[in-house]
């Protein structure tokens, strides 16, 4: 089954044509990696999947994006869409409030008020993000007192707390040290069973370590999309090969 089906997607920032005729089918319950040189539109495509581009003035989108068959640019409730399609950003961005309140923010947004229920959600989300043991004794402490790697896992917990179906991650480890990166990669492999994950990465090894499929982008176009093994072992396109072997700018 596919979580996202994208057909004939074009995106413009004012006059600039940032995404060109994208056709992609992203499988659910898998990890899909987006790779490609800086500025090729990976983040832009990711943000069309939960309509974060709505916030950008002058951004125009044509084409068809479906989440489990529903057109998300039809008259969908954007807030509901973003609950179903969570996002983790490049730089960890916990809110300046306590660890507990960070994770509880999403559930509270969607109407959960009971302290008991919130406590359960916070604990299970922090456990799922493999950070519970590190923070269970200081849930009332400010989230900004955590280390960078912990902050990013907290942001993952925060995203999981609203029970999304898909997780979008935009270079979630690029600001982290190798040990924190390793922890997050392990975590993603455990999350794959329950969530569909789409991850942008600059790191080829990361793509091969964790992803099932890989899409290679260049100048706003999808050049190649296949199982990760195929893309890295026998790329069909010369440009893909150049990129993954590091012969590219």
Partner 1 sequence: MMRRKRKTSEILLGAVTWFAAAVTIGLLLLLVGFILVRGVPHLKPSLFALHYNSDNVSLVPALISTIVIAIVSLVIAVPLGVFAAIYLAEYARRGNRAVAVIRMTTETLSGIPSIVYGLFGGLFFVVFLGWGYSVLAGAATLSIMILPLVMRSAEEALKSVPDTYREGSFGLGAGKLRTVLRIVLPSAVPGILAGVILAVGRIVGETAALIYTAGTVAQIPGSPMQSARTLSVHMYSLSSEGLHTDEGYATAVVLLVVVVLINALSARIAKRLGRRS
Q: Which of 13, 73, 105, 132 binds partner 1 (CB under 8 A)?
A: 105
Q: Which residues pair with 56 in a beta bridge?
A: none
> Does the footprint of ligand ADP cover residue 38 (CB under 6 A)?
yes
> Does the footprint of ligand ADP cover residue 51 (CB under 6 A)?
no
Residue keyed to tokens 């456990």:
127
User: What tokens does 217 get?
Assistant: 């982008």
Residues 109 and 158: their CA atoms lie apart, in Å, by 12
Q: Identify which of 2, 25, 8, 86 has the alpha carbon closest to the alpha carbon of residue 51.
A: 86
Element (H, E) at 227: strand 221-227
> Does the footprint of Mg ion cover residue 48 (CB under 5 A)?
no
> Does the footprint of ligand ADP cover residue 43 (CB under 6 A)?
yes
Residues 104 and 115: their CA atoms lie apart, in Å, by 10
> Does the footprint of partner 1 cover residue 96 (CB under 8 A)?
yes
> Does the footprint of partner 1 cover residue 183 (CB under 8 A)?
no
3-state secondary structure of 19: strand
In the complex, the smallest distance separating the C-beta of residue 173 from ligand ADP, rounded to whole angstroms, is 15
The answer to whether the beta carbons of residues 125 and 154 sit under 8 Å apart is no
Ordered alpha helix ranges (H), the chain: 42-49, 78-84, 99-109, 115-128, 132-135, 148-160, 178-191, 204-210, 228-233, 238-244
3-state secondary structure of 53: helix
> Does the footprint of ligand ADP cover residue 172 (CB under 6 A)?
no
Q: Which of 8, 39, 119, 148 binds ligand ADP (CB under 6 A)?
A: 39
User: What tokens does 158 get?
Assistant: 């925060």
What residues between 54 and 83 interact with ligand ADP by CB under 6 A? 56
Among the residue ranges 39-47, 118-126, 146-154, 233-241, the one whose residues contact ligand ADP (CB under 6 A): 39-47
Q: Which of 130, 144, 175, 204 binds partner 1 (CB under 8 A)?
A: 144
Q: Which of 6, 33, 40, 43 binds Mg ion (CB under 5 A)?
A: 43
Q: Which of 24, 31, 42, 135 binds ligand ADP (CB under 6 A)?
A: 42
User: What tokens does 52 get?
Assistant: 């974060």
Among the residue ranges 52-60, 68-76, 124-132, 197-205, the one whose residues contact partner 1 (CB under 8 A): 52-60
Residues that bind ligand ADP (CB under 6 A): 13, 16, 18, 36, 38-44, 56
Residues that bind partner 1 (CB under 8 A): 50, 52, 55, 57, 79-83, 86-87, 89, 91, 93-97, 105-106, 109-110, 142, 144, 155, 158-159, 162
């Amino acid at each position: 089954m596919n979580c996202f089906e994208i057909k004939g997607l074009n995106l413009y920032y004012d006059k600039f044509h940032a995404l060109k005729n994208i056709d992609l089918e992203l499988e659910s319950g898998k990890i899909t990696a987006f790779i490609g040189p800086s500025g090729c539109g990976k983040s832009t495509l990711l943000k069309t999947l939960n309509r974060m581009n709505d916030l950008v003035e002058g951004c125009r989108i044509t084409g068809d994006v479906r989440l489990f068959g529903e057109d998300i640019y039809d008259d969908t409730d954007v807030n509901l869409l973003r609950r179903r399609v969570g996002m983790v950003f490049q730089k960890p961005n916990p809110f300046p409030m306590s660890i507990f309140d960070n994770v509880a923010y999403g559930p509270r947004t969607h109407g959960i008020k009971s302290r008991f229920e919130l406590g359960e959600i916070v604990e299970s989300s922090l456990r799922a993000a493999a950070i519970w043991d590190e923070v269970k004794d200081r849930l009332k402490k400010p989230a900004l007192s955590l280390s960078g790697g912990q902050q990013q896992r907290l942001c993952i917990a925060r995203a999981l707390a609203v029970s999304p179906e898909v997780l979008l991650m935009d270079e979630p480890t690029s600001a982290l040290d190798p040990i924190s990166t390793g922890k997050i990669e392990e975590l993603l492999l455990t999350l794959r069973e329950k969530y569909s994950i789409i991850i942008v990465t600059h790191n080829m090894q990361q793509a091969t370590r964790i992803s099932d499929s890989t899409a290679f982008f260049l100048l706003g176009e999808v050049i190649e999309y296949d199982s990760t093994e195929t893309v890295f072992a026998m790329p069909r396109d010369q440009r893909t090969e150049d990129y993954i072997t590091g012969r590219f700018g």
